[in-house]
Every structure is written in structure tokens, then in C-alpha cells.
Amino acid sequence: MYRRMGLFRCLACGATSDVYAAVCGRCWEDKTLVPVARRAGAEIDRAPAVLRANEVLASAWRMTQLHPYGLTIGSRSLVLVSGPPGGGKTTWSLTAADSVSGACVVVSAELGHGPALAALLARCAVKRPDVIIADAALSVDGLVQLAREHDARTIVVDSCQEAWLDGREMRHVIGLLPRLVALVAVAQVNRFGSPAGERALEHEADLHVRVEGMTWSLAKNRFGPCDKSGPVLRERSQLEATVC
Ligand SMILES: [Zn+2]
């Protein structure tokens, strides 16, 4: 995703700020703000999301099963998947998206198209031709265009920090794609264990899945109780594999 300068991020808590300060305004740590890039404005930022009443209602009554995990989500859901590196976030996200029929657009901002991604797809047994994988050069406009071209039902953004999309922007992308079932946002965590970046990310999410050590649990679920958890992949050999 294209970027421009003029934003500071706290290394300790992940909060962002438009102005530099010696002390972070959220966690009060000293000298933790560093300049980071911000994505450039996109055409879709100003494009209004216009939906029919039945499309809005569909998110309440049209439910979709994420079979590998026994979870049910409404249409046009924002699914946040957070956790430390190497814990299985990408694996959870790809297997969940692969279980929904219809095209899937993956923004592979962290892994690109390299051998690490190939190994991951092999472990997840994701081999459908309608899973379309773009690298970090894909713009936000490009993402929406690609999803429309392929009539995508799921989008995986890995990670939303690398792709420079915040919660509000991802909600807007969902609003522009009425036939979408879920946008799955993979999020890195800061040292407090929260998704790095805006609190808005957790607030916006309909389902928040925490993934660590190849095990998942629910932190938030707008569609039911948070009592479910389990392994990211079922087979023992797959569980033992090291994944990103
Ligand atoms: Zn901070």
C-alpha cells in the first residue's frame, strides 16, 4: 500500500500520533515515538458506501459457518486475528477464509509471494485458484477493485499494520463490497498483548480471535458467546510445524 510521511507510532503500545512528543500520550513511556509512514489517500476514501436495506439486514440474518473452527459469523463481518509472531495468525486466517465458498483476496503484505507463503499455503492445504494473493504494492483502491472483479466473499489483510489500514478504513472497504462475508484482519500485537495501533481496531471488530502457540481463543464475539477455543490446525504433524 502506498505511503506518505507525517505520522508517529509508539514502540511500546502501538498508539499513533500526528505530532511528535517526548512522552507517549497513551502509555506514558519516555522517548518511544518514532516516525512511521502513512498510506496515501485513496479514491475509495471519499467514495460513499451505499447499501440497500436488505444488504444491511443480511449482516444480521445471513450467517456463515467457519467450519474449521465451529464459528458462525454474520455477513460483512470484520474479523480481527491478533497474536505474537509465529503463533499461527496467518494459518488461522487462511483456513477460515478458505472454508467460505467464493473468491478470496489475500493482501500478503508481510510474506509477499515468497517460499514462506508457499509453505504456509501447503500446510493449510489452500490451493483454490480463486484465492488471489497480492503483495504489499496493492493500493487500497486496487484491493477494492480486485475484490469487485472476482466477486470476492472474503478478504484477508496480513497484516493490517503493514498494509496501513485501520479499523475504520477496513469497515469502509466492507461497506463498499455488499456481497462480502468477512474481512479478516491479521494484527501484530504490542508488548502488552493488544493489537498494535488504534484501540479502534478492537472496537470495530465483530469477532476478535487471539492466536498464540497454534491455539486460538475468542476475545470478542458479536454473534455468540466467547467460550470457544482450540488448535489452529487439527493434524498433529501440522500442529508441530513452525508457521508464521
Ligand atoms: Zn505508548
Cβ contact 123:238 at 8 Å: yes
Phi, psi of 45 (to 5 degrees): -60, -35
Taking the centre of ligand 1 as the mean of its atom positions, its distance from the CA of residue 25, in whole angstroms, is 7
Distance 36 CA to ligand 1 centre (A): 14
Helix (H) or strand (E) holding 135: strand 131-135
Domains along the chain? 3-36 (no CATH), 43-243 (3.40.50.300)
Give the Å distance between the CA of 8 and the centre of ligand 1: 10
Q: How many angstroms does the Cα of residue 27 sit away from the middle of ligand 1?
A: 4
**What is the CA(35)–ligand 1 centre distance, in A?**
13
Distance (angstroms) between ligand 1 centre and the Cα of 15 equals 6
Cell of 187: 494484527
This prediction has a pTM of 0.83
Distance 192 CA to ligand 1 centre (A): 10
The answer to whether the beta carbons of residues 7 and 18 sit under 8 Å apart is yes
130 C-alpha to center of ligand 1: Å? 40
Helix 140-149 × helix 167-176 angle, to 10°: 30
Give me the tens of pLDDT residue by residue for the chain, a chain 244 residues long.
444 446 788 888 777 777 888 998 888 889 888 887 667 778 888 888 888 888 888 777 889 999 999 999 999 999 999 998 889 999 999 999 999 999 999 999 888 888 989 999 998 889 899 999 998 888 889 999 999 999 999 999 998 878 778 888 899 999 999 999 999 999 988 766 777 666 778 889 999 999 999 999 999 999 999 999 999 986 544 444 444 4
